[in-house]
Amino acid sequence: MTPELERIRELKTSAKNQRDRGIKGYPRALASLREAIALGEEAVQAPLPELAARSAAELCDCFGLTGGIERRWADELEGEDRIAHLKLAVLAYDAGHGYESDPRYGISNSYNLVNRLIARLLLAPKALQADQPLALDGIAALQLATEFDRAAAVIREQVAGPRRGDYWAWADLAMIEVLLLRSAPEAAYAQFLGLGPPDFAYVSALAGLRPLAALDIGSASALKAAVDLLEAQLLRLRA
C-alpha cells in the first residue's frame, strides 16, 4: 500500500472516531475527510490503473462518510440549517457516486448511489410522486421515482454477480422495494435476513429506514413495518 493510501485510511479512522462523538466531533471529522479527499483526488490521477482504482474506492468511501456525517448533523437541526446540511450531504453523495459509477475503476457498490437519492427525498418528500425532476440550487435535478428504479436495477445486476452474498447490497435493494411499494417488508428483506448479517448491519439499515418511515409519503406505513421487522430481528440477535 502506498503512503498516500495509508494516510487516507488513517484519516478515515480518525473521522469515524470523531463522528462517533456526536455533533461536537462533526467539524473535526469533516476536516479529516477533506484532507483524505484531497489526497485521494491526487492519487486517483496515478498512471497505474490498479492504484487509480484503489484511490477511487477510497474516495467513494470518503464522500459517503462525509454525506453520512452531514445527514447526522442535519438530524440535530431544524429549518434552514437542517436544509443546508442535507444539501451538503447530497453534494457529497453525488461526488462519491461519480467515482462509484465510473467504469474505469470497476467499483461494485451502491452506497452513494442510494444515499444521494435518500438525502434528496429527506429534503423534498413530495418529489417522490412528482412527474418533474427535483430542482435544488446547485444540485443536479433528478426525478426520484425513476432514479430509485434505476438504482434497484443496478443493484440487481450487482447481486447477480460480484455482490451475491453482500448483505449491504440486499439491504439497499430491500429498502427501495419497500419504498416503492413493490414488496412487503418480509419478502423484501428475506435475502438480507437469510445472510445472517451482524449487529452493526441492522443498526445501519435501521438508521436509513427510520427517517424515511417518518416522512409523509405513501409508503410510510410499509417502511414502519420494515423498521419493526428489523428491530425485532436485532433484538433476537442481541439476545
Identify the H or E element spanning 219.
none
Q: Walk along the chain (239 residues) and give the pLDDT tens digit of each residue.
A: 789 999 999 999 999 999 999 999 999 999 999 999 999 999 999 888 888 999 999 999 999 999 999 999 999 999 999 999 999 999 999 999 999 999 999 999 999 999 999 999 999 999 998 877 877 777 888 999 999 999 999 999 999 999 999 999 999 999 999 999 999 999 999 999 999 999 999 999 999 999 999 999 999 999 999 999 999 999 999 99
pLDDT in tens, 104-161: 999 999 999 999 999 999 999 999 988 778 777 778 889 999 999 999 999 999 999 9
Residue the block writes with cell 447490497:
169
**Cβ proximity of 123 and 86 under 8 Å:** yes
Of 163, 164, 161, 174, nearest to 219 (Cα)?
A: 174
Alpha helical stretches, state H, the chain:
3-19, 26-43, 49-75, 79-100, 111-123, 144-159, 167-179, 185-188, 190-194, 199-213, 220-238
Determine the longest span between alpha carbons in the chain, in angstroms: 51
Instruction: Report the b/e string of 140-157 with b at 16+ CB within 10 A.
Output: eebbbbebbeebbebbee
* This prediction's pTM: 0.94
Residue 29, C-beta contacts closer than 8 angstroms, at least 6 positions apart: 14, 15, 16, 17, 18, 19, 65, 69
CB atoms within 10 A of CB 86: 24
* CA 135, 91, 150, 144 torsion-angle sign: negative
pLDDT number for residue 38: 97
